[in-house]
Amino acid sequence: MAKFLVQKSDPLNGEVYISGAKNAVLPLMAAALLAEEKCVIDDVPALRDVEVMKDILASLGSEIKELMPGKLEVYTPVIKDTEARYELVSKMRASFLVMGPLLARNGHGKVHMPGGCTIGARPIDLHLKGFEALGAEVVLKDSYVECIAPEDGLVGASIYLDFPSVGATENIMTAAVLAKGTTYIINAAEEPEIVDLANFLNKMGAKIKGAGTDTIKIEGVPNLHGAQHTVIPDRIETATYMLAAAITHGSLLIKNVVPDHVKPITAKLRECGVQVEFGDDGMYVIADNPDVKLTATDIKTLPYPGFPTDIQSPFMAFLTTVDGASAVIETVFENRFMHVAELNRMGANIKTDGNKAQIQGGKKLEGAKVIATDLRAGAALVLAGLVADGTTEISEIYHIERGYEKFVDKFKAIGADIFRMDE
């Protein structure tokens, strides 16, 4: 098993370019199944999750070509198989996003239960509720879900989501674009990744309005055609490097950023005393002012445009190092404090009670052997390792490599002392 070895580093300085968003590219790739013509997606990050999605699409009949690094062509003239098999989907939760396109285009989809990070229950009941509202028959077994459209196809409906689930919103959108009539998704997720998917689908000939608001209107069309689209920058990767500058008291220029996508992180870092400025060439995160003492703040995770759950653990790593007490409230996933034990092993003082964590900041961290329990927890441990005395040895790093492109190379380029060791 590969590991990261992280040594205490000098303040990080320089510039870093943000890759295309993992959480945007996977639904885009799945949506390419809707067209018989070629779809081209630009700024595709080189990630394990992307490789898994390539394998899933190929198993369904897609021809996948990498036209050049970061430029992917997906061509699916015929869907040859409507079953996404266990050995592939068990590796990644986002694999369930092929159900909507399979149901819309072929009237049938069978997807085995998805895998992914163990950060709590992420039920697919809202996805299935949406498919049923469109007229599909849903067969739910212990190991798989099968959805069957009526003989005359799916029919538009008004669908209320009990929670603004990103995955459910995406899956319902891709199912509804070819349905007869009009579909409304009410209490829809508002994340930038939803807007990116809607923009791609509209380029393919769909008629979607309201993406980015809590109500999305989809007028069904008979078919979709090929299109070319560039993935939005990864806002979670952006926030990770913002925190890397902050925790090491460094100064970074972060390029390929959409400022609106990271508003909550920007606001909270400014509360802590970190300077965040935007220029024509990108975002400047400056934490090396000796006259400014960084202090604690409280965060509460919420669906977009609130503070993202995906950056809760990296932000907590930062809070352990600044003076003052802080509170972190997690409202999205019930099991997203698994990193707390690992940070405490490094000398942090964090106590949890249900979905709330209390942090006594200003602690001197020490290197230790720790485990990346999930993707973002792994990033948090790397950030902690950058300021911990001695060596931090992080195992289970496959989680991290699922979601960050060129992770070690990018961190090394800005001065981090990090090494990937293969055992």
CB contact at 8 A, 193 and 171: no
Annotated catalytic residue, options 39, 117, 147, 272: 117
CB-CB neighbours of 253 under 10 Å: 21
Closest CA to 241 of 366, 401, 379: 379
Q: Which residues of 174-248 form beta strands (DSSP E)?
A: 182-186, 207-209, 215-219, 228-230
- Residue where the block lists tokens 């000939």: 205
SS3 92: coil
CA angle at 300 for the pair 342 and 309, rounded to the nearest 5°: 60
Is 229 within 8 Å of 199 (Cβ atoms)? yes
* Tokens of residue 146, six digits: 């099968």
| 117 is a catalytic site residue | yes
d(CA 396, CA 377): 11
Q: What is the dihedral of CA 394, 398, 401, 402, to 10 degrees?
A: -140
**Beta pairing partners, 277:** 284
- Under 8 Å CB-to-CB from 22, ≥6 apart: which residues? 45, 47, 49, 50, 234, 236, 237, 402, 403
How far apart, in whole angstroms, are the C-alpha atoms of residue 393 and residue 398?
A: 14
130 Cα distance to chain centroid: 22
Question: 167: exposed, middle or buried (C-beta count within 10 Å: 0-12, 13-18, 19+)?
Answer: buried
Which residues participate in catalysis according to the annotation? Answer: 117
